[in-house]
Structure 1
Amino acid sequence: MFDLSGHTALVTGAGQNAGAGIARALAAQGAAVAVNDLVPERAETVSKEITASGGVAMAVPFDVTDLDAVRAATGRVAGELGRHVDILVHNAGIPADFGQAPFRELDPSRWRGPVEINLFGAMNCVSAVADGMCRGGWGRIVQISSGAARTGSDQGISLYGAAKSGVEGFIRHLSQEFAPFGVTANTLALGLQTNAAGAATEMFAAKIPVRRLGTPEDVGPAVVYLASEEAGWLTGQILNLNGGSVTS
């Protein structure tokens, strides 16, 4: 069950935290994994960890907001791993300038960062791999999102929340366009993770019903399921992985 042998996965933002957990979990189930990160050293480290554990991986550092770089990288993945990308996990979502501040205090020059990496980053990556998936008659698109997409907050994350809301809508529509071709598109919305920082983190963590933050080891298996053959009848959905902090 959940055997991903013969499939090639591209995981963006996979050089650390949840992205690294996703890459490791997919590789453990047999997928060949292209490990992306904006920082080459991080991508190389995770790729080497996977190969040292007996998996198949390669580092593909690029900026998801650069369409030409995305297309070049996916072409290199197909050439080196011998198969087109048929599992895409768009996890990259935190720009250098997160844009965290009350909206009234944000200079307009800071508005674009979260939108570029989350929404246009997803569009760039999907554009680069969708034709191969649809021609091949099989594919899995998994978008990593956040509860901030659907729950308001006074923590100065309006830009991030807006970007995640936008990409959730994008994935919802893709699911309908791609379904006839055997390609599913789903969103995994994460709650507060162990890499979160800030004075309020412990306060929020105490309010999570399971009484702990999420970890990369929580996220990886959930993505494995969404990427699997067994999840072929699940598409257009948003799954909340949040320790019960928001129920639906």
Structure 2
Amino acid sequence: MDYGPYGRVAIVTGSAKGIGKGEAMVLARQGLAVVVADIDVTAAEKTAEEIRAEGCQAISVSVDVSNSNSVKEMVNTVYNELGSIDILVNNAGIVGRHVTYDIVNMPEESWDAMIDVHLKGTFLCTKFAAPYMIKQNWGRIINTSSLHARTGARHGFSSYGAAKAGITQFTRVAAKEFGPEGITVNSVAPGYVVTTALPIKNEYLDFIKEQIPIGRFATAEDIGNAVAFLASNQAEYINGANIEVNGGRVEFYYKGCP
């Protein structure tokens, strides 16, 4: 099958930095043309430049995954420029000021922001990218859940836990809908990945690391490796799965960690 002048094309949302950047770098090194899609287009282009500096193919595009018009425009731009949309990695997410609220004191805007970016964003990107995959009867959609979706998020993270659990269930239903179209839909559930977005105080990091059997936190590339496998032909019979990438840390215990 002809996949256009750039070979298979992978869109990674929220890939200007953090886990998404690691995923984009790994996929590019596997020979895919990578679309660095992020609301911060300046940072996205910087990541795309890093990928191109390694001799790999990448472009950057601006997208607000919570806005349907923005997502539609992003998808159209990718198809028009690269000629194909084969792999979608729904990674975009937020933490920051919208988490660490208990339920009673949580501003409604913080709840809405968390659900809109994580869960609605996954829906919108899937909605607009999937038709291109259906047309060619081949595709991979990989969503970003979290270990919090299974264990329950810690105090103050109800919106985050709810959004990630929703992504896990959305993945399972989408796998049923798109499987007959040659498209697999799976999710990855990272444990702790030390990035600038990690909302944990430094004094708690050693305590948390002691609970990880492998003895270290994940890197963004560790998550990228799992994504790359799910995007590959070797994973063609894996559909509707949620792959936990946590070093063996299966529960969360914070011992007073706020």
Q: TM-score, normalised by structure 2?
A: 0.90
- 1:117-132 equivalence runs, <5 A: 117-132=117-132
Give the corresponding residue for 2:200.
Answer: 198
Contact 1:27–1:33 at 8 Å: present in 2 too? yes
Q: Distance in 2 between matches of 1:154 and 1:170?
A: 22
Change in 2 beyond 3 A, CA 1:44/1:233:
same
Distance across 2 between alignment mates of 1:212 and 1:220 = 17
Query: Which runs of structure 1 show a deviation greater than 4 angstroms over 4 or more consecutive aligned residues?
Result: none
Count how many residue pairs are aligned between Structure 1 and Structure 2.
242
Unaligned runs of 5+ residues in structure 1 are none
What's the counterpart of residue 256 of structure 2? none
Aligned residue in 2 for 1:171: 171
Which AA in structure 2 matches 1:10? I
Assess if the C-alpha contact under 8 Å between 1:95 and 1:117 holds in 2. no
- Shift in CA distance, 153/124, structure 1 to aligned 2, threshold 3 Å: closer
- Residues 1:212 and 2:216 aligned together: yes
Task: Give runs of aligned pairs for residues 221-232 of structure 1, distance below 5 A.
Answer: 221-232=225-236
Q: Could you list the runs of 5+ residues in structure 2 that have no partner in the other structure?
A: 1-5, 252-258
User: Which digits, 9 at most, give the CA deviation of each residue in 1:141-185, with x for residues without a partner?
Assistant: 000111111112433111100001111111110000101111000
Q: Does 1:141 align with 2:141?
A: yes
CA distance in 2, matches of 1:54, 1:110: 40
Deviations 1:102-159 (A, max 9, x none): 2122122321111001111011100111111011010000001111111124331111
Q: How do 1:76-87 residues align onto structure 2 when only pairs under 5 Å count?
A: 76-81=77-82, 83-87=83-87
Asked if the contact 2:9/2:32 (under 8 Å) is kept, the reply is: yes
Letter in 2 for 1:203: F
AA matched with 2:41: P
Partner of 1:234: 238
Q: What RMSD over aligned residues (CA atoms) do the two structures have, in Å? A: 1.4
Counterpart Cα distance in 2 of 1:134 and 1:76 = 18
Please give the alpha-carbon distance, in whole angstroms, between the structure 2 residues aligned to 1:141 and 1:172. Answer: 11
Q: Is the 8 A contact 1:62 1:69 kept in 2?
A: yes
Q: Secondary structure at the match of 2:38?
A: coil
Give CA deviations for 1:49-80 in whole Å, capped at 9, x if unaligned.
Answer: 11111111100121101111111111111111
**Helix, strand or coil for the counterpart of 1:189?**
strand
Equivalent residue letter for 2:186: N
Indicate the SS of the match to 2:140: strand
The amino acid across from 2:31 in the alignment is G
